[in-house]
Structure 1
Amino acid sequence: MELSAIAARVTAMTNATVVPHRWLGLWALLAAMLMNLLDATVVTVAGPAIQRDLGGSETSLQWIAAAYTLALAVGLLTGGRLGDMLGRRRVLLVGEAGFLLASLACGLAWSPESLIVARVIQGLFASVMIPQIFGLIRDLFPPHEFGKAFGALGPVIGLATILGPVIAGVLVDADLLGTGWRMVFLINLPLGAFGLLVGARVLPAGRGDRSLRLDGVGALLAGLAMFLLIFPLVQGRELGWPGWLAGMAVAAVLALGTFLRRQRRMARAGRVPLVELSVLAKRSYAAGVGFVLVFFGAIVGFSLVIALLLQLGLGFGPLRASVTMAPWAVGAFLGSGFASAAMGRLGRRILHLGLALMVVGLVATHLTLGRVGVDLGGWDLVPALLVYGVGMGMIFVPLFDIIMAEVTDREIGSASGLLESFQQVGASLGVAVLGTLFFSTVGVLPSGEDYLTAARQVTLAALGLTVLAFALGFLLPRRARTAAPPAAPPAVPSAEQGPSERAADEAQAERPADEAVREPATV
């Protein structure tokens, strides 16, 4: 058959599978992602207002922030598998509905404990919802539109990073209908309702593969290990560091060991484990896991402490605090744009450049806090936070692609899901460790000077973690992965396929590397 005829048939087949109203469906998916991004950041600014209303200790503030990311980390190990088993649209809609109910529960919380429980439920449903987004985008769009569709995610992620804390400050200060801080969670209701209604009508339905099995025991073991690790770090200061907390740390190691042995047995038995342990044997990937834990722990813990300093220590209102921190997010947006353009040329060096800028920003923050003291104004931190944000943003875009450079196609799904889980664990550890350091330094009846001293100590700790990440960066691959991971195992032409199907497979397989679709990392 002539090439022109084959091309015509491929074009006809592609057009026949185009989903009507696919761009409206993309907006439904973006609404789901936006809810997750906002809820990961709004508590940073709204936390002090929550504490004033509901009471509770400083430890409660840490749990309100950490509960969401910890639950998200646990659930991500199985969230993607549920979509493969039951169909992505069905799982997305169930996750979104559960997320909305949990958001309503957060908005109606009557105590710190009830809010923490609701945040855990939020995180679990987010872990079911988020992994379906990238797969559904591929289901919605033909290959030649992948770039445009995935390209829409970058601005959404960037804007959510910038606007999340600002929106939280505006909503808390506005006190709409007397809701105060509760509106930072209730704002999810219209977003989620749009996503549910449009998603149910527009997103393509999939039946899933019922032959797949879910390792629920493995997920529980992983979740138990994470909880046993985080609990002593968050709760130890309030409890006076009793000896039994050390027992919990030992139990965390035992639970993790049991989980790893179970995954190894499943692989030997020919069953699909939650985690492909072979990736952890690669030095570059193992170093990447350490990098992710340290990097995200530093930035999340540091951001929480700066927000607490501004509001609890210096008396800033939520809106003023969020605007003061906005240069950080603006810098991250600018740094992400630079990284997108330069990562192919600079490779791993862009991580070290970004970390060097973060070091400069942290040193400038430490010096500014010491020089200005309790008279700190909104403009004093702008240069330091802007530089820090630019460096941070330069790392977001290329990081996962660089870590995954030596991972095989067979391991790519497990490796990427595991990295996302470690990202959330790192965030939880940052809140636990740096938050505990902050409140331990502040003392019982703190003054503004005490808060400044504590914030400077945390800044030095974040500086140390950033330097550690700089060292770990030398163990990562020099170049990023040259092509995006496949959405499914590559199709193999067979005798049962007609010429048009074989031609379509070959056309997709031969797409040049520069047309590969990169999925932006959520932050």
Structure 2
Amino acid sequence: MTVTAPEATGETQGYRWRWIALFVILAAEVMDLLDALVTAIAAPTIQRDLGGSDSVVQWLGAGYTLAMAVGLITGGRLGDLYGKKRMFLIGALGFTTASLLCGVAVSPEMLIASRVLQGLFGAVMLPQGLGLIKEMFPPSDMGKAFGMFGPVMTISSVGGPVLAGWLVDADFFGTGWRMIFLINLPLGLAAALAGIRFLPEHRESGATRLDLGGVGLVSLAALLLTYPLIQGRELGWPWWTFASMAASVVVFALFGRYESRRAATGRDPLVTPSLFRKRAFTGGLVAGLAFFSGVMGFGLVFSLYAQNGLGFTPLQAGLAGLPQAIGGVIGFGLAMSGLQERLGRGLLQIGAVVMGAGAAVLALTIHVAGTDVTAWQLAPGLGLAGIGMGLVMAPFFDIVLAGVEPHESGSASGTMTAVQQLGGALGTAVLGTLFFNLLAAEWGFGASMEVTVWVEVGLLALTFALSYLMPRHARPEQAGH
């Protein structure tokens, strides 16, 4: 393994370039977080401008997260093979180019294809940053470096939807919704140029070859599942949609068998098979799939309900969802105050209950207030759900990865992050399809939103039940606290 700092000729200068490099990496994280959030707010405007069916709204989010999910599993290994700095720069420039293509898209198909490209290049870019931080910073500064991610992610999650709504409403230079993608151009170019100057060279000397067969199988399985879930409703659910979903189960099983054989013959698998023999890890994967499906699916449906059902502008819709984001900040802050260490898995379970209660309050508010409901009336339920979401997410990854062996940690982390993205794609597909089905059956926006919220409550109940498969604490020494 080699790490070379750019012109780090003195202790002070070396200290300085490390922190500048960190801000380059954080800029890339901001681009990804914003692009994961903004299309939910802009989707109704995009559909009115470019045309296309309701499935276009779902593919704008699902195409990005599905490509990200598949790419993340192997994105980190590309950095080990070809150099983290090089792959970060390729990812950043590719992401910026894909954003430009999104901004100039002339059809729904071109926009969706460009979103898929964004997801793929994002999956190349993001893992490199985390790996570089581990190599750049000494143990004494590692906590401070990773601690920067919390505020940045929080500000992005709170401000992303509001920024998207403001950009769409402001219609700068007549660009309308296109500005939510074009804003990535200065960010991406600045990150790439600064990365050339300040990011260190890093490559693993013992890196193994890519598992392209595994990538192909898991990509096919994910597409066989997601495509019919989104397109089936508009096509009248022909027989092949159900055959496709059944085939996805078969291909996922083939993927598992292929990975086991690869590991048995001494080749490096895409996902370490021994992980799936750990009850805590597999339970966490399924729990994460349920939880993130509900969170991401709700975000899209709420935006459609607020704009198409209540007549909110994109900016008003972004502001209406702000209590949930602020609640998430509060919940995360409570967890970090010591609750996470003391309660462990219990904090995750409390969070699921609080979030479910907030969703129930939201559903009841929509039912009672009807079409005259205001953003202020929606705020208590959204805020409570946000607090619960923060309480769940704070300990989630730490607890799920608790029983993973050191040699499995890289594969486990990549798999968990990929499942988070896959959950987003499935949630967008399932909850979005449910919402559009109910509207087609003339349920009305309020009733359709209520049902969708109660489905999210069901997914949270499943998350709660599956949490009992996880260890009580991430580290044994916390059990006595």
Partner of 2:196: 200
Q: For 1:152-301, what aligned pairs fall within 5 Å after superposition?
A: 152-209=148-205, 212-301=208-297
Greater share of residues in helix: 2
Partner of 2:451: 457
- Alpha-carbon distance between aligned partners in 2 of 1:264 and 1:178, rounded to the nearest angstrom: 54
Partner of 1:382: 379
Q: For 1:317-396, what aligned pairs fall within 5 Å after superposition?
A: 317-341=313-337, 342-396=339-393
Partner of 2:56: 60
**TM-fit CA distance, 1:211:** 5.4
**TM-fit CA distance, 1:230:** 0.6
Q: Counterpart of 1:176 in structure 2: which amino acid?
A: F
**TM-fit CA distance, 1:17:** 10
The answer as to whether partners of 2:80 and 2:207 remain within 8 angstroms in 1 is no
Partner of 2:47: 51
> Which consecutive unaligned segments of at least 5 residues does structure 2 have?
1-8
- Alpha-carbon distance between aligned partners in 1 of 2:256 and 2:40, rounded to the nearest angstrom: 34
Partner of 1:80: 76
Partner of 1:467: 461
- Alpha-carbon distance between aligned partners in 2 of 1:260 and 1:299, rounded to the nearest angstrom: 27
- Alpha-carbon distance between aligned partners in 1 of 2:247 and 2:10, rounded to the nearest angstrom: 54
**TM-fit CA distance, 1:209:** 3.6
- Alpha-carbon distance between aligned partners in 1 of 2:408 and 2:47, rounded to the nearest angstrom: 44
Q: Deviations over 1:285-320 (max 9, x none)?
A: 111011000000011111111110000111100001
1:116 and 2:95 matched: no
> Which consecutive unaligned segments of at least 5 residues does structure 1 have?
1-12, 484-512, 514-523
Partner of 1:206, secondary structure, is: strand
C-alpha distance 201-239 of structure 1, shift in aligned 2 (>3 A): same
**TM-fit CA distance, 1:19:** 5.4
Partner of 2:37: 41
The answer as to whether partners of 2:98 and 2:114 remain within 8 angstroms in 1 is yes
Q: For 1:490-501, what aligned pairs fall within 5 Å after superposition?
A: none
The answer as to whether partners of 1:86 and 1:209 remain within 8 angstroms in 2 is no
- Alpha-carbon distance between aligned partners in 2 of 1:415 and 1:437, rounded to the nearest angstrom: 32
Q: Counterpart of 2:440 in structure 1: which amino acid?
A: G
- Alpha-carbon distance between aligned partners in 2 of 1:125 and 1:283, rounded to the nearest angstrom: 33
Partner of 1:397, secondary structure, is: helix
Q: Counterpart of 1:404 in structure 2: which amino acid?
A: L
1:431 and 2:435 matched: no
Q: Counterpart of 2:466 in structure 1: which amino acid?
A: L
**TM-fit CA distance, 1:251:** 2.1
Q: Which runs of 4+ in 1 moved over 3 A?
A: 13-20, 207-211
Q: Counterpart of 2:91 in structure 1: which amino acid?
A: G
Partner of 1:26: 22
1:420 and 2:417 matched: yes
- Alpha-carbon distance between aligned partners in 1 of 2:384 and 2:124, rounded to the nearest angstrom: 35
The answer as to whether partners of 2:77 and 2:207 remain within 8 angstroms in 1 is no
Partner of 2:377, secondary structure, is: coil
The answer as to whether partners of 1:98 and 1:125 remain within 8 angstroms in 2 is yes
The answer as to whether partners of 1:350 and 1:394 remain within 8 angstroms in 2 is yes
Q: Counterpart of 1:480 in structure 2: which amino acid?
A: A
TM-score (norm 2): 0.95
The answer as to whether partners of 1:173 and 1:319 remain within 8 angstroms in 2 is yes
**TM-fit CA distance, 1:249:** 1.6
Q: Deviations over 1:333-392 (max 9, x none)?
A: 111111122100111110111111111111101110011111111111111100000000
Partner of 1:275, secondary structure, is: coil
- 2:305 paired residue among 298, 303, 309: 309
Q: Counterpart of 1:49 in structure 2: which amino acid?
A: T
Partner of 1:71: 67
The answer as to whether partners of 1:348 and 1:476 remain within 8 angstroms in 2 is yes
Partner of 2:456, secondary structure, is: helix
- Alpha-carbon distance between aligned partners in 2 of 1:157 and 1:482, rounded to the nearest angstrom: 29
Q: What count of residue pairs does the alignment treat as equivalent?
A: 469
- Alpha-carbon distance between aligned partners in 2 of 1:253 and 1:325, rounded to the nearest angstrom: 35
Partner of 1:81, secondary structure, is: helix
Q: Counterpart of 2:320 in structure 1: which amino acid?
A: T
C-alpha distance 251-209 of structure 1, shift in aligned 2 (>3 A): farther
The answer as to whether partners of 1:404 and 1:481 remain within 8 angstroms in 2 is no
- Alpha-carbon distance between aligned partners in 1 of 2:167 and 2:44, rounded to the nearest angstrom: 14
Q: CA RMSD in A?
A: 1.7
TM-score (norm 1): 0.87
The answer as to whether partners of 2:102 and 2:115 remain within 8 angstroms in 1 is yes
- Alpha-carbon distance between aligned partners in 1 of 2:294 and 2:246, rounded to the nearest angstrom: 24
Q: Deviations over 1:235-270 (max 9, x none)?
A: 110000000112212221222122112111111111
The answer as to whether partners of 2:99 and 2:114 remain within 8 angstroms in 1 is yes
The answer as to whether partners of 1:107 and 1:185 remain within 8 angstroms in 2 is yes
Of 34-43 and 19-28, more deviation after overlay is shown by: 19-28
- Alpha-carbon distance between aligned partners in 1 of 2:349 and 2:207, rounded to the nearest angstrom: 45
Q: Counterpart of 1:245 in structure 2: which amino acid?
A: T
C-alpha distance 310-107 of structure 1, shift in aligned 2 (>3 A): same
Calculate percent identity across the aligned residue pairs: 48
Q: Counterpart of 1:106 in structure 2: which amino acid?
A: C
- Alpha-carbon distance between aligned partners in 1 of 2:444 and 2:10, rounded to the nearest angstrom: 64
Partner of 2:52, secondary structure, is: coil
**TM-fit CA distance, 1:207:** 3.9
- 1:480 paired residue among 458, 474, 477: 474
The answer as to whether partners of 1:285 and 1:403 remain within 8 angstroms in 2 is yes
- Alpha-carbon distance between aligned partners in 2 of 1:63 and 1:452, rounded to the nearest angstrom: 23
- Alpha-carbon distance between aligned partners in 2 of 1:221 and 1:426, rounded to the nearest angstrom: 18
**TM-fit CA distance, 1:15:** 5.1
The answer as to whether partners of 1:225 and 1:256 remain within 8 angstroms in 2 is yes
